[in-house]
Chain A
């Protein structure tokens, strides 16, 4: 087919122009005649119908080159990554408060940035392409804007007031994009509302002539990374939740679940859990290793679904039907063998988290307790150790979760994020039970120490030899009492968390005097 030949001919030139982006050779799709480009996980596809419709008005090679310039610049400049896309969407949403309108505003803004960048920085035929595209609705306004800011006659005109305001936005200043998209959205707000009303009436959406921008453009790995960066960048949990809730359907369709990538549709997204997961991934807590005997070589033990990010080397090709698809591909989980020597290793960890009324509800605001516990969980799971959870408020009245040692991150997070409210009392029998379920596990306890039976807890900690990392939030008489009561114990280290920045200062399993003798810790 003619267009395929043109793509092959033009592609090396376009690639060179954009400094050799890591993109596969674009393909041709039949598609509709009103949408030129489709981008799916880095694969650019040009619509043949669009090309056929336009080829009488413009040279074939110029059409393909202009469309590719547009597509590649989205990949190379704006949005560049999923995090930027989410950030822009989030800012637009603050103005219009409506998902579809915010998505539209983001698309328009990214197109203006992309095309203006191309026109300024590259040798492109994008202006000619716009000259030949149909102009109606917002595209008429955008073409008029391009006329003004590119200095080209594109056969549009009009909308003077809107164009004046739009032309004052510094589209090519990346650092000001957040502020710029807000201004941009405010100016076009009336058009967005009108478009939305028209779509509601006709149930037909006017397609973007140069392609839509959705989650389809990104791979699961990019989405995962983008969400992690977004969780760190947003001001609060609500903002993250709102954005993720807006994209829930698309994320689930893509096969992205709370537990990460590749869990498939059966694992619906819990935005709160996802927030703590992604935020915790930004922190790395060090764990002091412990001399233990039971350590040796790893051997394949059981299967679990493969997720992007897990090593390819552990994939079991025999049970994966020869495919590398998240959710289908199986991976070997490995266990250690027995050995008799003094090796350093990481024990399992019991996470004790206070979710009483004096603690912040993690589903309403950022809870440092949950974030700290999540970081601890990540640190142990990463080293192939297991984690158990004891989440309590008034445990003696049944307000508690007792989760046995396991490797299941999502299950552990669910237990950590549960909020009870109410009074604070621990049932030490539960702790004793959980400690008996593993071999000398570490204990990570995070609380404000306003525990009714604090004296019994201090007494209990004074009796055990497990390494205890106690994190208290803020300072009060109870934290002082806990410090004084456990002062002599060298296996208990205490950290104070006043803000988010204190979390990375926690060292898990730190002992006041580290002795290499394994006997002390057995």
Chain B
């Protein structure tokens, strides 16, 4: 008996592997390795799903994050994918913005690229601590709004925020430059010892600043006649 579907058999099928398959596969693998590193950080740092923002905690978390990402080959795009993976994850305690920010900062600081552009406009949460310890010769550009403690301990890098930030931006910053297109919250530049913070919009309030320069809408507001440097 003749097979009525004979004409369909193997008709025009080629199914070859194309470079896109490899790109996507390697992207998935990298992302899962990055996520694993993040999970390890969470296990160590936020066991009770509570993460207290203290400078010693941040330093400890950062060193765990650095270990977690050791040996991972990734690009700026992978960092961005990771941010969205955190945002879209349905595991409720997954995105704790403190450790997430420290981990992303470690990824940025150890990335191969000198310039990293993160398109985070569509993130539903604002990540804290982005740009932590950004070193010299690194430029980080974030499109979208960011959370608290952005750019703290900045260490010579250039951090551009195409949006607004919240409180304690640039706190403890040593050198380098933070440029914010829109607004910042309270305690801006708290404990800052050097570098420049340039804000295109409004600053709700300054912290206790030791050194460096802060500009608000092209006007130098620190150091200024009315605001003297603070000594701890």
- Which residues of A does B touch, CB under 8 Å? 16-20, 116, 119-123, 148-151, 164-165, 167-168, 170-172, 186
How far is it, in angstroms, between the C-alpha of A17 and the C-alpha of B14 when the chains are bound? 10
Is B13 on the interface with A (CB-CB < 8 A)?
A: yes
- A165 near B77 with CB under 8 A, answer yes
Contact mask for chain B residues 1-23; partner A; CB cutoff 8 A; 1 contact, 0 none: 00000011001111110111101
How far is it, in angstroms, between the C-alpha of A118 and the C-alpha of B42 when the chains are bound? 44
- Give chain A nearest CB distance to B112 CB in angstroms: 13
Is B202 on the interface with A (CB-CB < 8 A)?
A: no
- A121 near B15 with CB under 8 A, answer yes
- Give chain A nearest CB distance to B45 CB in angstroms: 29
Q: A17-B11, A17-B12 are in contact. Are A168 and B77 (CB under 8 A)?
A: yes
Is B27 on the interface with A (CB-CB < 8 A)?
A: yes
How far is it, in angstroms, between the C-alpha of A123 and the C-alpha of B13 when the chains are bound? 7
Contacts of B13 in A (CB 8 A): 121-122
Pairs A–B under 8 Å by Cβ, sample size 27: A16-B11, A17-B11, A17-B12, A18-B12, A19-B12, A116-B18, A119-B18, A120-B14, A120-B18, A121-B14, A122-B14, A123-B12, A123-B14, A148-B19, A149-B19, A150-B18, A150-B19, A151-B18, A164-B75, A164-B77, A165-B77, A168-B24, A168-B27, A168-B77, A168-B81, A170-B24, A171-B20
6 nearest interchain CB pairs?
Answer: A17-B12, A149-B20, A151-B19, A16-B11, A123-B14, A122-B12
Contacts of A149 in B (CB 8 A): 18-20, 23
- A167 near B23 with CB under 8 A, answer yes
Contacts of B18 in A (CB 8 A): 116, 119-120, 149-151
Query: Which B99-137 residues sit within 8 Å CB-CB of chain A?
Result: 119
- B20 near A19 with CB under 8 A, answer no
- A19 near B27 with CB under 8 A, answer no
Contacts of A151 in B (CB 8 A): 18-19
Contacts of B14 in A (CB 8 A): 120-123
Contacts of A186 in B (CB 8 A): 119
How far is it, in angstroms, between the C-alpha of A222 and the C-alpha of B115 when the chains are bound? 48
> Smallest CB-CB separation from A165: which chain B residue?
B77
Contacts of A150 in B (CB 8 A): 18-20
> Smallest CB-CB separation from B14: which chain A residue?
A123
> Smallest CB-CB separation from B12: which chain A residue?
A17
- A16 near B12 with CB under 8 A, answer yes
Q: A149-B20, A167-B20, A186-B119 are in contact. Are A120 and B15 (CB under 8 A)?
A: yes
Contacts of A16 in B (CB 8 A): 7, 11-12
- A20 near B77 with CB under 8 A, answer no
> Smallest CB-CB separation from A14: which chain B residue?
B12
- Give chain B nearest CB distance to A97 CB in angstroms: 13
How far is it, in angstroms, between the C-alpha of A191 and the C-alpha of B23 when the chains are bound? 24
Q: A164-B75, A168-B24, A168-B81 are in contact. Are A120 and B16 (CB under 8 A)?
A: yes
How far is it, in angstroms, between the C-alpha of A164 and the C-alpha of B75 when the chains are bound? 10
- Give chain A nearest CB distance to B161 CB in angstroms: 18
Query: Which B67-84 residues sit within 8 Å CB-CB of chain A?
Result: 75, 77, 81
Contacts of B75 in A (CB 8 A): 164
- B81 near A19 with CB under 8 A, answer no
- Give chain A nearest CB distance to B76 CB in angstroms: 9
How far is it, in angstroms, between the C-alpha of A16 and the C-alpha of B20 when the chains are bound? 26
> Smallest CB-CB separation from A173: which chain B residue?
B24
Contacts of A17 in B (CB 8 A): 11-12
- Give chain A nearest CB distance to B177 CB in angstroms: 23
- Give chain B nearest CB distance to A259 CB in angstroms: 39
> Smallest CB-CB separation from A94: which chain B residue?
B122
Contacts of B12 in A (CB 8 A): 16-19, 122-123
> Smallest CB-CB separation from A120: which chain B residue?
B18
How far is it, in angstroms, between the C-alpha of A119 and the C-alpha of B75 when the chains are bound? 27
- Which of B20, B77, B119 lies in contact with A116, CB distance below 8 A? B20
Query: Which B135-180 residues sit within 8 Å CB-CB of chain A?
Result: none
How far is it, in angstroms, between the C-alpha of A295 and the C-alpha of B88 when the chains are bound? 59
Known pairs A119-B18, A148-B19; list 4 more (Cβ under 8 Å). Answer: A121-B13, A122-B14, A150-B18, A168-B23
> Smallest CB-CB separation from A145: which chain B residue?
B20
- B11 near A19 with CB under 8 A, answer yes
Contacts of A165 in B (CB 8 A): 77
How far is it, in angstroms, between the C-alpha of A172 and the C-alpha of B18 when the chains are bound? 12
Contacts of B15 in A (CB 8 A): 120-121
How far is it, in angstroms, between the C-alpha of A172 and the C-alpha of B23 when the chains are bound? 13
> Smallest CB-CB separation from B17: which chain A residue?
A120
- Give chain B nearest CB distance to A108 CB in angstroms: 16
Contacts of A171 in B (CB 8 A): 20
Chain A CB count within 10 A is highest, among B11, B12, B14, B23, for: B12
How far is it, in angstroms, between the C-alpha of A168 and the C-alpha of B27 when the chains are bound? 7
How far is it, in angstroms, between the C-alpha of A148 and the C-alpha of B20 when the chains are bound? 8
- A19 near B19 with CB under 8 A, answer no
Contacts of B11 in A (CB 8 A): 16-17, 19
How far is it, in angstroms, between the C-alpha of A122 and the C-alpha of B11 when the chains are bound? 9
How far is it, in angstroms, between the C-alpha of A170 and the C-alpha of B22 when the chains are bound? 11
Contacts of B7 in A (CB 8 A): 16, 20
How far is it, in angstroms, between the C-alpha of A119 and the C-alpha of B21 when the chains are bound? 12
How far is it, in angstroms, between the C-alpha of A186 and the C-alpha of B123 when the chains are bound? 14
- Give chain B nearest CB distance to A95 CB in angstroms: 9
How far is it, in angstroms, between the C-alpha of A122 and the C-alpha of B24 when the chains are bound? 20
How far is it, in angstroms, between the C-alpha of A150 and the C-alpha of B19 when the chains are bound? 6
How far is it, in angstroms, between the C-alpha of A149 and the C-alpha of B24 when the chains are bound? 10
- Give chain A nearest CB distance to B122 CB in angstroms: 8
Contacts of B23 in A (CB 8 A): 148-149, 167-168
